[in-house]
Amino acid sequence: MYEKIKNITSLIQSKIPKDFKPQIGIVMGSGLGQLANAITPIATIPYSQIEGFPVSTVEGHHGQFIIGTIKGKNIIAMQGRVHFYEGYDIQDVVMPIRVMAMMGIENLFVSNAAGGVNLEFEVGDIMLITDQINLIPNPLLGPNDDRLSPRFLPMWNAFNVKLREIALNVARKQNVELKQGVYLGSTGPTFETKAEYDYFRVIGADTCGMSTTPEVIAAHAMGVKIIGFSLVTNATKSGNVATDHAEVQSIGQAKAKILSNLIEQIINELD
Ligand code: HPA
């Protein structure tokens, strides 16, 4: 796996200027691909052009890296990701994250469309992720490669406290209401039953979805600072726990602009 990550990193580096080093990685979740509009691009690399790279089979999940700048900072963004439910090995699911870490990113922004488990949450809410519960297989399972992670990784405060403070300040300035809470990642692809939603609430989740948590583990293992956002696309409060993929997509699009502005401004505040 390490060799594969290294080869893919070299391939991407061969397609961008030699002196371009990304400081920030961004993972755009379902329907949030329009965050890409904030990027001044230098190169776009479809995943399909990268040999051995996992390509999403899900509608609405574009698959490409966009490399460029936001507010003068060098970034590499993933427009689309693959999910464990698509049948990929968990090592492949997090491989793009490890590639970005190997390219030298210091900060990683993750985002997802998620179900609102917290009874106070409404459709369209944006939640700053303070912590996570991973119910998807752990990407660090198996023989350990010290170059990718320590054998035992502390996950306390995996979502960087300083980055979260910056996000809260920016949201206050922009008059954006930012909820805070715990994201739970489960495998999907089924949306939850009512009983499962109740269960997630009891164990401490505020939002739930089918991605992100393994990526956070893999990035944290490589020393990357992480900040994450959930966009609530369906909520218990509205009596709308059951959802469908089209609904997730359309709400993502309507709110992505607000989240995009927020992320742009947070990037602007980074050193
Ligand atoms: N459950 C899981 N994943 C989701 C949901 C949900 O309710 N909404 C959007 N992604």
Q: Whose CA is nearest to atom 10 of ligand 1?
A: 114
Q: Cα-flanking dihedrals φ and ψ of residue 215, to 5°?
A: -65, -40
- Among 78, 95, 100, 113, the one annotated catalytic: 113
What does the pLDDT average to over 239-265? 73
Angle at alpha carbon of residue 10, lines to 7 and 14, rounded to 5°: 140
Confidence class for position 242, pLDDT limits 50, 70, 90:
low
How far, in Å, from the CA of 32 to the mean position of ligand 1?
14
Q: What is the pLDDT of residue 263?
A: 92
Print burial letters for 192-225: b (CB count within 10 Å at least 16), e (below 16).
beeebbeebbeeebbbbbbbbbbbbbbbbbbebb
Q: What is the pLDDT of residue 55?
A: 82
Ligand 1 pocket: which of 127, 243, 249, 255 to mutate (most atoms <8 Å of CB)? 243
Confidence class for position 238, pLDDT limits 50, 70, 90:
low
Instruction: Say whether pLDDT at 244 is over 70.
Output: no
Place of tokens 């009874």: 119
What does the pLDDT average to over 154-166? 96
Ligand 1 pocket: which of 118, 191, 244 to mutate (most atoms <8 Å of CB)? 191
**Residue 260 annotated as catalytic:** no
pTM of the model: 0.93
What does the pLDDT average to over 157-168? 97
Using CA atoms, how far apart are residues 96 and 91, in angstroms rounded to an integer? 10
Confidence class for position 58, pLDDT limits 50, 70, 90:
low
pLDDT (tens digit per residue) in 98-118 = 999 999 999 999 999 899 999
How far, in Å, from the CA of 42 to the mean position of ligand 1?
33
Confidence class for position 52, pLDDT limits 50, 70, 90:
confident
Query: For ligand 1, what atom is nearest to the CA of residue 188?
Result: 2
What does the pLDDT average to over 56-78? 84
Query: For ligand 1, what atom is nearest to the CA of residue 115?
Result: 7
Query: For ligand 1, what atom is nearest to the CA of residue 241?
Result: 7
**Residue 30 annotated as catalytic:** yes
Cβ < 6 A, ligand 1 pocket: 113-115, 188, 191-192, 208-210, 233-234, 243, 248
**For residue 125, which of 71, 183, 169, 83 has the smallest C-alpha distance?**
183
Confidence class for position 54, pLDDT limits 50, 70, 90:
confident
Using CA atoms, how far apart are residues 5 and 52, in angstroms rounded to an integer? 10
Domains of the chain as residue ranges with CATH = 21-269 (3.40.50.1580)
Per DSSP, the residues of the chain read -HHHHHHHHHHHHHTS-TT----EEEEE-TT-GGGGGG-EEEEEEEGGGSTT-----STT---EEEEEEETTEEEEEEES---GGGT--HHHHSHHHHHHHHHT-SEEEEEEEEEE-STT--TT-EEEEEEEEEES--TT-SS--TTT--SS---TT-B-HHHHHHHHHHHHHHT--EEEEEEEEE--SSPPPHHHHHHHHHTT-SEEESSSHHHHHHHHHTT-EEEEEEEEEEETTTT-----HHHHHHHHHHHHHHHHHHHHHHHHH--
Confidence class for position 233, pLDDT limits 50, 70, 90:
confident
Using CA atoms, how far apart are residues 156 and 162, in angstroms rounded to an integer? 14
Q: CA distances (Å), 258 to each of 79, 171, 251, 264, 265, in order?
A: 17, 10, 12, 10, 11
